[in-house]
Copies of this chain bind each other. A is one copy, B any other.
Amino acid sequence: VDDECRHIVESFWRAMNDNDFQGAGGLLADDFVLDYPQSRERLRGRENWVALNQEYPAAGRWSFQVHRLIVENQQAVTEVTVSDTLNQFMLVSFFQARDGRIQRMIEYWPDPFDPPGMRAHLVEMPGGVK
């Protein structure tokens, strides 16, 4: 089961990196749901998901670099850097699979923030992460 879920998520990011949004959409369940906890938006259905990706403004081709993939049974999470050649974004995605497709995703898009001065004496700057 872990291997199946891993394969689905890897296929998803490969299709995304090919900018093949129809192909990635083919990995989603008919009753697919995507939640954005930061804005409390909920997107339902493969067609809306494909449209969102096709309509989203981009400076160039999208690339998706997967830094981490953790899989347990039918659940997975990825830590990804997204770029449209001009801008770069961080993305953490939780996946729930069912019957060989992605039934649910939860996406977090964390923005950069300035280091809080109050903990400057406790940290190094800039920390290398990847």
Listed in ascending order, the chain A residues whose CB lies under 8 Å from chain B are 2, 35-44, 48, 51-52, 55-57, 68, 70-72, 75-77, 79, 90, 92, 94, 106, 108-116, 118-119, 122-129
Contact = CB atoms under 8 A, between A and B. Distances in A.
Contacts of A115: 36, 39-41
Given A48-B122, A79-B106, A94-B68, A129 B35 contact: yes
A5 to B, nearest CB: 10
Across chains A and B, which 6 residue pairs bring their CB atoms closest together, nearest first?
Answer: A42-B127, A40-B126, A41-B123, A110-B110, A108-B110, A39-B115
Nearest to A49: B122
Give the copy number. 2
Q: Is the interface of A mostly helix, strand, loop or mixed?
A: mixed
Contact of A90 (B48, B108, B123, B126): B108
Nearest to A45: B122
Contacts of A68: 75, 94
